[in-house]
Amino acid sequence: MSVEEFGQRLLNEVKEESLEQTLTELRHISGISGANLNIPFLDRLLEVFLPETEVLQSTNLPDIANPETIRPQYHGLGRRRVIEVTGTGSSSGKTLLLYYIAAISILPQKLNDVSLGGKGAAVIVLDTDNRFDVRRFRDIMWNHAVTKLMEGAQISQKEASSYWEWLEKVLDEAMRHLHIFRPQSSASLLATLDTIPDYLLNSSDHSSSTRSLATVLLDSVSAFYWQDKASDEPSSPPGPSRPTLSPYMQTYTTLVSSLRGLQTRFGCTIVATNWGLIPLQSERGYDKLPQSYRPHLPPVWTNFCTLRLIICRERPPKFPHLHSFEEAMRDKAMWPRTGKPAVFTVWVDQRWGTERWTDSQKRRLQRVKGGGYAQFELRQGGELFVLNPCA
């Protein structure tokens, strides 16, 4: 073998990698990616369903000086944190849960040495349903910060009022890192996703270029479902050597690819809401499990999701049978005076896709407090309590 051939052989063995890829991988390995949502219940469930090779074990870190201990075990660490939240109907609490996740993401970690539980990061909201209410979101963030301040400083609400002016400035600063986009079609959504990396890294457009991207919130992934289905025709004539790919399938394939690219680059968590269109009927062996829905989106999206949650709002009891009109009006008038908070229940879908769960995942889910069920409340004034696992 000549010197030239030997040199070419050595060059062929060298793997090229961009500086961005190297820094991203080192960030994941060192455990400073900040991928957690800072919401214990959701973080614990993500750990259950993440592939075991993607769960960072701080007691078993690889030797950074030895690349063989990094790949393939730690390659791509933290890039599969995708949560789908399916609602059982209108006003089920999907967007409300997104408000809470966004609030935790952009709030600072501490306020006057009192922990707010925030991440001090940036958030991207893809509001395809045009339902993200900024005023309501701020109310929820305000009440969360006030509650944390009162608990951490052990002061009353009257004493906490002395912090109001300062707290307003803190929230104003946090709101600057909430970036809302409202695409009007699937094509607009995909084009928006393509521009997000350049937008985030451009310091002249906003003040979030020095912050990490904590979450990308998509509300909802089904917003353009019917429009896309209406144009569901093959993009090319079917042939023996060329499979047919409809625009509908291509849309979700590109969507998943774009979202995965954002995760790879920024190490963020993706949370998407979805519609519950096809309820699963009760079957033998599933009678004791809560409501579930058959996925109506292509498998490329379903397989992309790490954790599938279902959320519903606890409805007030119905009027008894043969209730008179006068009695119904009297009882209805009593509801606003009860002062009961709106209660929402969240649970892991345990009826669809469980055949892909490993035995280890099933055991870990059983060890999670509440078994994958949690509740949160919305009281008058927008006071949102954290997700508490059901006993």
Residues 22-42: pLDDT tens digits?
A: 655 555 554 444 568 888 889
Structure confidence by residue, pLDDT tens digits, 54-73: 444 433 444 434 444 443 33
The pTM of this model reads 0.80
Q: Where are the beta strands (DSSP E) in 107-211?
A: 110-111, 114-115, 122-126, 178-181
Given this model, what pLDDT does residue 74 score?
Answer: 37
Q: What is the mean pLDDT of residues 323-341?
A: 65
- Is pLDDT above 90 for 84? yes
According to the model, what pLDDT value does residue 221 have?
Answer: 95
Give me the chain's average pLDDT, please.
79
Residue with tokens 């793997």: 15
Percent residues over pLDDT 90 in the chain: 31
Q: Is residue 227 scored above 50 in pLDDT?
A: yes
Short-list 181, 193, 195, CA closest to 253: 193
Mean pLDDT to the nearest integer, 224-228: 91
* Long-range contacts, stretch 333-336, CB < 8 angstroms, 24+ apart: none
Contact 385, 371 (CB under 8 A): no
Q: Is pLDDT at 374 greater than 50 in this prediction? A: yes
Whose structure tokens read 């001090």?
A: 120
Q: Which residue has better confidence, 71 or 222?
A: 222
Residue of 68 and 248 predicted with greater confidence: 248
